[in-house]
Structure 1
Amino acid sequence: MNTEKLYRVLLYYKYVDIKNPEEVTQEHKEVCTKIGLKGRIHISKEGINGTCSGTVEQTDQYIEYMRNHPLFHDIFFKIDEHDGHAFKKLHVRHRPEIVTWRLGKELKPHEKTGTHLSPKEFNELLKKEDVIVLDGRNDYEYDLGHFRGAIRPEVETTKDFPKWIQENLGQYKDKKIITYCTGGIRCEMLTAYMLEEGFQDVSQLDGGIVTYGKDPEVKGELFDGKLYVFDERISVPVNQVEEVVVGKCYHCGTPAEKYINCKYDICHHQHIVCPECDEQHHGYCKPECEEKDRELQASKNNN
């Protein structure tokens, strides 16, 4: 039986000074459209951040294009096989920042950032008691899966991090801190900011959780739950050594790993749900949403 996947998902980024980001964005959009890729790619004066999907042939074409690009030739691509496109559309946009931090000051991670750790080095530090492990993602991502013993940041978006760090980590500026995120990009700016704020010993997982989960030596060890991803897959497995479910159903609190958006589009609240509650609550996060959605649909039908 042929189990080879016909599609691939690419995850990548690079902090690099771009003098003409609007022009680079337009050219990039034209190239991606011609190739037939789907996904989200953000370009700004500080670099590029992308995740996209396509057939093996299409992704090979894109990687070849990037390998010949004067700014992006040395980008490291994290590649996942998939059954089809992981996105419905293609969006290539110029942004003020490739990740929204709104720090109020310009930092350049490609010039100064935390020490990069290989999966093996990160794994070894996870097992030490005197190391602080900081999840560099949003709280809802942590709830689905995280490294064992990691601090859960009480942030809903990346731009909430500076205030949270000032209020919660200020007393640990002389401690050894290791950070991680999905593919590595958020930790670049996170550790750059922490160094700017006076933290002495800050490191980051090179390539993020995605790379860690594929490393043949560590095999995703000590990552509990699943990895939240920002595409149609929603979650992917990481730990090849043991399977631990850390997510809890929004309704009943039992172990669960399925993330859904509330069926009521005006609410659209994302929550973890077990199979029983998903069926019982018909995809809504609360009874009020189901009632309002029925009223809305009835109103549309009457008109």
Structure 2
Amino acid sequence: MKAYQTLLYYCYSPIENAEEFAEKHLAFCKSLELVGRIIVANEGLNGTVSGTREACDAYMQAVHADQRFAKTDFKIDEVDEPSFIKMHCRYKAEIVHSGLRDPQIIDPNKRTGIHLEPQEFMEMKDRDDVVILDVRSDYEHNVGHFKNAVRLDIENFREFPERINELAQYKDKKILTYCTGGIKCEKASALLLHEGFENVYQLHGGIIKYGKEAGGKDFEGKCYVFDNRVSVEVNNVNPSVVSTCFNCGATTSKMINCANPVCNEHFTQCDECGWKMDGCCSENCKSHPRKRPYDGTGYYVKIPQAVNLSKRKSKKFAVKN
């Protein structure tokens, strides 16, 4: 039994005065000495928090005691140390950014794909009439994904609606969507239904729950997570590595952020190249005057930077088929 826990959760439930709620919720989390990142919107909560077992238990009890969030499903990981450095709780327009804010089109409380428990998902995923759809960003599915999954080349989830036409060829199939914890599937499956896909399902609790309850069978590689662990193992049945080092091509599942904060690109890099490149993706980044010290983890406390749109680096991964 480890001393700390990390909780991953979301709940679509209307919140009045959500901006004020976010401020009070931040104070509550700090009172428990939790660290993590929570997004609050009018549509609900999306969070990952970490702390002592006692603090996490108190937090879950408090969330469940609020009738708005009584149905919240917490995914609990045992960790050696807290998975964040600071505590953030911010108000935003959506708890997962999709750009879909019309409740007549997307309302996860009214219509989503059929929820499949991990065992049900495992039993369905290999059928001939089924397509497994990864709705995550490219840097996430490049480090790990379900065997034979359809993966869209998107940098972030808000690109999903504009790429949905690429899935038209699968309209006669059962579509099984999945993501890290389930939150993106709520909106992705709802949009698929709105666009005329008739048989849409989603993995309840996402990859994390699948790993805990179904052993992670046939999930290839690691699962990207949004904390200082960067990626975690989920498959203890038939594990494999599907990604390679961006710099040398060696097999590796280690994902880092570039040490140059102006770049801050997600990419896979082996330990040898990590130290050789000082945690950078290129020689230009390695010589950048703002380069951060590399400690071998490739994780840094987020510092807001101007977005560099001069080029897209989405091909930084080599993935084995």
Query: TM-score when scaled to structure 1?
Result: 0.92
Residues 131-210 of structure 1 mapped to structure 2, 5 A cutoff: 131-166=130-165, 168-210=166-208
- C-alpha distance in 2, partners of 1:275/1:296? 17
- 1:36 counterpart = 2:69: no
- C-alpha distance in 2, partners of 1:196/1:294? 46
3-state DSSP of counterpart to 2:177: strand
Name the % identity. Answer: 45
The answer to which of 262-271 and 196-205 deviates more is 262-271
Q: Which runs of 5+ in 2 are unaligned?
A: 294-321
Higher helix share: 1
Shift of 1:129: 2.4
Question: Aligned match of 1:245 in 233, 238, 241?
Answer: 241
3-state DSSP of counterpart to 2:150: coil
- C-alpha distance in 1, partners of 2:125/2:95? 29
- Kindly report the root-mean-square deviation, in angstroms, between the aligned alpha carbons of the 2 structures: 1.7
Change (3 A) 1:296 1:79: closer
- 1:45 counterpart = 2:42: yes
The equivalent residue for 1:18 is: 15
The equivalent residue for 2:284 is: 288
The equivalent residue for 2:273 is: 277
The equivalent residue for 1:110 is: 109
3-state DSSP of counterpart to 1:293: coil
The Cα offsets for residues 224-280 of structure 1, whole Å up to 9 and x where unpaired, read as 101100001011111111220001110122211111122222222221011222232
- C-alpha distance in 2, partners of 1:24/1:115? 31
- C-alpha distance in 2, partners of 1:94/1:100? 12
The equivalent residue for 2:219 is: 223
Amino acid at match of 1:267: C
3-state DSSP of counterpart to 1:42: strand
Amino acid at match of 2:2: K
Structure number, greater radius of gyration: 1
Shift of 1:26: 2.2
Amino acid at match of 1:181: C
The equivalent residue for 1:6 is: 3
The equivalent residue for 1:301 is: none
The equivalent residue for 2:231 is: 235
Amino acid at match of 1:126: K
Change (3 A) 1:295 1:185: closer
Question: Aligned pairs, how many?
Answer: 291
- C-alpha distance in 2, partners of 1:99/1:155? 15
Change (3 A) 1:30 1:294: closer
Amino acid at match of 2:22: T
3-state DSSP of counterpart to 2:151: coil
The Cα offsets for residues 93-126 of structure 1, whole Å up to 9 and x where unpaired, read as 1111000000252321111000000111111112
- C-alpha distance in 2, partners of 1:68/1:232? 29
Shift of 1:173: 2.2
- C-alpha distance in 1, partners of 2:41/2:290? 42
Shift of 1:52: 0.4
- C-alpha distance in 1, partners of 2:144/2:186? 21
Q: Which runs of 5+ in 1 are unaligned?
A: 298-303
- C-alpha distance in 2, partners of 1:269/1:111? 37
Amino acid at match of 1:33: K
3-state DSSP of counterpart to 1:8: strand
